[in-house]
């Protein structure tokens, strides 16, 4: 059985010691999907929706980037990182739902999977918040890691069917 990384030899919660790891360029991409009911889908025009709170996608992108940069304040054992790049892409997919991709890059001793997942999640929450006046039947669907590179093991789930 694989040992959990955030437990020390006495099974106490602990931050992972990365002092022995090599500094490498690391990146991660996460996705979150917001399922929109027809009333919300109909309100989008040319791929964007303007609300009294502002443009939905632009605001959600800003919120997602801010969240990715603050991940270490939200997740107890995440290392504080000087994120070098965070890109959030949002679009309505073929079924009229919002598909959010968050890619985070850093040159460091630890990866940025949690930062990418946090960025995608908060962007999805922001879409919900800004559209809830139209309908509260939205569902924030699967949030998942699609790809990571630069660490001990690379993964790529970006071409799997359930994305």
Where in the sequence numbering do the catalytic residues fall?
Answer: 129
Spatial distance between the Cα atoms of 159 and 145, rounded to a whole number of angstroms = 12
Q: How far is CA 19 from CA 108, 140, 150, in A?
A: 11, 37, 16
Nearest to 28 by CA among 73, 81, 75: 81
Is the separation of the CB atoms in 100 and 123 below 8 Å? yes
Q: How many CB atoms lie within 10 A of CB 23?
A: 12
Is the separation of the CB atoms in 68 and 83 below 8 Å? yes
Sequence length of the chain is 163
């Amino acid at each position: 059985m694989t040992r959990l990384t955030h437990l020390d030899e006495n099974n106490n919660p602990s931050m992972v010691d990365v002092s022995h790891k090599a500094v490498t360029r690391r990146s991660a991409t996460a996705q979150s999907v917001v399922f929109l009911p027809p009333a919300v889908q109909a309100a989008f025009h040319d791929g964007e929706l303007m609300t009294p709170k502002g443009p939905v996608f632009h605001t959600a992108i800003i919120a997602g980037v801010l969240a990715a940069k603050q991940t270490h304040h939200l997740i107890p054992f995440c290392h504080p990182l000087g994120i070098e790049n965070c890109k959030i892409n949002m679009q309505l997919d073929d079924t009229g739902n919002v598909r959010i991709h968050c890619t985070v890059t850093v040159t460091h001793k630890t990866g940025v999977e949690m930062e990418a997942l946090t960025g995608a999640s908060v962007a999805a929450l922001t879409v919900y918040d800004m559209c809830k006046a139209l309908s509260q039947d939205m569902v924030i669907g699967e949030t998942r890691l699609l790809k990571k590179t630069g660490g001990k093991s690379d993964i790529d789930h970006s071409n799997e069917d359930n994305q």
